[in-house]
Structure 1
Amino acid sequence: MASKQMVHMNHGQGETSYAHNSSFQSLLALEGMSLFDTTPVAFVPSLSDRSEVQAPEDLRINQIPAYDIDENARRERLPVVAGAYAQQFRKDFTLFLQLRAKELVPEGRMVVSLQGRRSDEPVTESSLIWGTAAQILGTMASEGVIDKEKLDSLYIPVHGPSDEELREIIQEEGSFSITEMRVHDPISGMDRALLTPNRLVNSLRAAFEPIIVQHFGSPGEIMDEFVRTGEKHLSLQRRSQVKHARNPRVMLVVSLTKA
């Protein structure tokens, strides 16, 4: 039986809420809207903000963990894991387009924004939206903070497609024509000094805490350790990266017209 999850961010207005940590995402959405003319459209925010999605069934059926603590095993399985997530996204996004098509009049328009990756970038851990969160949880499992077996059964149902992948799905589904598609780096115009490890890891917490807490339990202890471990991980990652390395993740914004 398919395993479905209601994906939502942290509720409320507190320090760890999505509302408190989503200014970055809101700016991205506004930037995406500015790419198009002023014709009235239906605007669909980031699809991972709230939706019912499924974890990749191929991974569950074959008991393949999405993230393995063993680095060699993880690298070997990456193509399989990435492929399973891509296939599940194709199913979910196709259904999304079919449902939205029923709601719009002919020639009605909508704008969809979502995180993705560059088509010319190979799939790596850093290009996967959930990759950083998984790396943090992997460290916590290796230190005994969370149970490794539970980590092996965790599938964060989020996928960031490439622009070519997204274009192909839209064209194959057939309900919409692509008016315009843009790919832009969400941090290209930002002061890098503002992208501190603390700020980044709290954004991850706001996005993934409900899933993590539901899976592992003990919300306070686990999430506080998630932030501490995440800050260390991101600080080390920041120092090891090339100063002007290109961001592997991008924002995809596409304007669609109902056929």
Structure 2
Amino acid sequence: MNRTGITRATREPLPGGGVVLAVPEGVPDVPALRFERESERRWVLRQGERPLVLARSEGEGCCRELRLRRLSGHRSPLPPPSAASMRSGANWPHRYARWLEETELGPLHRGRWRLTPRTVFAPGIWDCDLVRDWPDASLDLLCGGGWHGVLPLRPLLAPDAPRVKSYRKHARQGTLAPVLLWWVSFLDGWLLLDGHDRAAAALAEGAPPPCVELVRLPADDAWQTTAAEITEAHEQRVAHLAARPEGPHTARQRQALDRSYADVLSTLPYDADATPMFALPRA
């Protein structure tokens, strides 16, 4: 990565304008923007040495409450887009990928990362599940730990704030640069890394903002191991089907097995992996 003079990540273009970055060996294992585990119930989001989010879970059982305190000082890992670049219709996933490689403020570290446009969300993500309270907030975690919402890292400005008003015209014209969302597995939700004012502008115009989603992907050896296990299970099902007397639906059943197998294998390299939680640095 450029901040340390290391070779850029390898790029794999994806259909629809997305890209996968394979961040190489030699990049520091601990990124600037990272989660650190303080105890079983406490973690902190840190950017460099600066804490941005302090979190603790409360309650017993699988459904707990996550109490957050966000602190000022978040610095976007991306430079602000110019009006000209927004009107030009840039390939934003690729542009954001390059900026994330160059920044000293982002979450990238060794491994595979996907940046893709995100246009569809479950109902409620950008209204009732958008955390507007500042600085303190409380999230009700569902069984298994999820919450499924959007957590801004600084307050959203009012719809009539000058910076928001300047973006609202772009929102109406369909030229607004997308916000950058980081998918966090243990929250089952997103952190808003860049574009707080653009998000406020789009919401003021009555629509969710355009988004680019940053997702950490499994390592090649991990998804290939899973693929081998799925292949073995598929071959066993095919052999079991072949051992049965042929009937009027046998061909259709074989086609369904093959189609399901192909669909699963095609998504394995691009499915989200767990977001790492780093250990606190030693004093």
Q: Give the number of the structure with larger relative contact order, counting CA–CA contacts within 8 Å between residues 6 or more apart.
A: 1
How high is the TM-score relative to the length of structure 2?
A: 0.22
Determine which structure has the larger helix proportion and give its number.
Answer: 1
The higher radius of gyration belongs to 2
